[in-house]
Amino acid sequence: MKNLENYRAFVLAAELGSFSAAARRMGKAQSAVSAAIANLEIDCGVELFDRRARNPVLSRAGAALLPNARAILLSNQEFAAKATSMSAGVEETLVMAVEHGISTFPLFDLLHRFSDTFPHVSLKLLSPGGAEIAALLRGDAADIGLMIEQESYPQGFQFRGVGHSKFVPVCGRTHPLSGKSQVSHADLREHRELVLQTGSRPVNAPLAQRKSTSAWYAESLLLIIDLISAGFGWAEIPYTIARQRIESGDLVPMTYAFQQSDILEGIDVVWTEHRALGVAGQWMLDRLLLLPQGVWRDEAA
């Protein structure tokens, strides 16, 4: 690569309007700056400045090449900063798997702080089903998981509860249950329940965990919502996912006669013991564990 000081002299002379001002900024003699720019012109094969006036003026070629010179200097700065970060043990990429259905809105403040603290770390956010998160963590395809709590986790997994997600029972506006002020267990048993295959309601869950003797299964919450809207059944789904369709009238929230409190599912942060997190990952994990317990419930209210 050509001498970066030549590019810097060119950019500063263009921005400050003179070779002498650029020399003062760089702490060099004016002759050194003039020589640096002349050498860059020789390398490029074009004149960057018109020197006929008292102060040099950018030529047409110089004006066209100035953004590229700035980009070269910026790229070099980013390279140096990223190399310094990596030498300090900061990983290049952090992967978080956030279970589909958990709102990311309560994480936005934390993500802003992460961006400011680790500007050179790429953050990759996955949105899998809950049953996939363990496989992603075990296979090193994710560093940290955020998921609906499970009764048990595989050996070697660590977890900590950090809040609750509100679930709401809904049906379509043309569904027979939509006209009832309160819905009983008997009402639910008469109609098909739509069940998410992964996450908090796995396919092999005991029948007692369901409220209907008839069920269809889907791996996507969005597909379940479409099926509900089309009148194929009812379901309990995360409020943050259902809210927009409830407000539009496509989904109708139901009130259970047998349960007066909100349906809350715990949210766990999950990670594994078999691999050490980098500096950025440990920073993220530590702050996830400090999140106020009400952040997701407040979002669902």
Cα separation of 4 and 76, whole Å?
Answer: 9
Question: Are residues 181 and 259 located together in one domain of the fold?
Answer: yes
The CATH number given to whatever domain includes residue 172 is 3.40.190.290
Question: What 8-state DSSP symbol labels residue 214?
Answer: -
Task: Kindly report, residue by residue over 64-78, the tens digit of the pLDDT.
Answer: 999 999 888 888 776
Q: Please indicate, yes or no, whether residues 171 and 246 belong to a single structural domain of this protein.
A: yes
Q: Measure the CA–CA gap between 14 and 56, rounded to whole angstroms.
A: 9
Are residues 247 and 185 part of one domain?
yes
Note whether 109 and 220 are same-domain residues. Answer: no
Domain boundary among 87, 114, 133: 87
CATH of the domain at 30: 1.10.10.10
Mean pLDDT within 275-296: 83
In a shared domain, residues 296 and 158: yes
Give the residue among 293, 236, 267 at the shortest CA–CA distance from 130.
267
Domain extent at residue 192 = 165-264
Phi, psi of 266 (to 5 degrees): -65, 150
Last residue of a domain, one of 34, 66, 87: 87
User: Do 146 and 275 fall into the same domain?
Assistant: yes
Place of tokens 């018109």: 50
Q: How far is CA 127 from CA 130, 146, 281, in A?
A: 9, 10, 18
Residue 79: burial class (beta carbons within 10 Å; 0-12, 13-18, 19+): exposed
Do 157 and 134 contact (CB within 8 A), yes or no? yes
CB 158 within 8 A of CB 273: yes
Regarding beta strands 235-238 and 157-172, do their DSSP bridges make them parallel or antiparallel, or are they unpaired?
Answer: antiparallel
pLDDT at 209 over 70: no
How many angstroms separate the Cα of 268 from the Cα of each of 123, 153, 240, 258?
A: 20, 11, 17, 27
pLDDT tens, residue by residue, 249-279: 999 999 999 887 778 788 899 998 777 888 8
Distance of CA 195 to the CA centre of its chain: 26
* Cα distance from N-terminal residue to C-terminal residue, the chain: 57
The torsion angles phi and psi of 181, rounded to 5 degrees, stand at -70, -35
285 and 141 both lie in a single domain: yes
Residue 201 has pLDDT above 90, yes or no: no
**What is the count of structural domains for the chain?**
3
Does residue 263 or residue 288 have the better pLDDT? 288
pLDDT digits (tens, 9 = 90+) for 1-40: 458 889 989 999 998 888 999 999 899 999 999 999 999 9
Residues 107 and 157 in one domain: yes
CATH number at residue 120: 3.40.190.10
Which residues touch 204 (CB under 8 Å, ≥6 apart)? Answer: none
pTM over 0.85: no
- What is the percent of the chain where pLDDT is above 90? 44
Among 44, 66, 87, residue at a domain's last position:
87
242 shares its domain with 281: no
Question: What CA–CA distance (Å, rounded) separates 196 from 184?
Answer: 22
* DSSP secondary structure of 219-288: S-HHHHHHHHHTTS-BEEEEHHHHHHHHHHTSEEE--BSS--S-EEEEEEEEEESSS---HHHHHHHHHH
Do 174 and 258 have their domain in common? Answer: yes
Partners of 158 in the β-ladder: 271
> Are residues 170 and 154 both part of a single domain?
no
Same domain, 229 and 201: yes
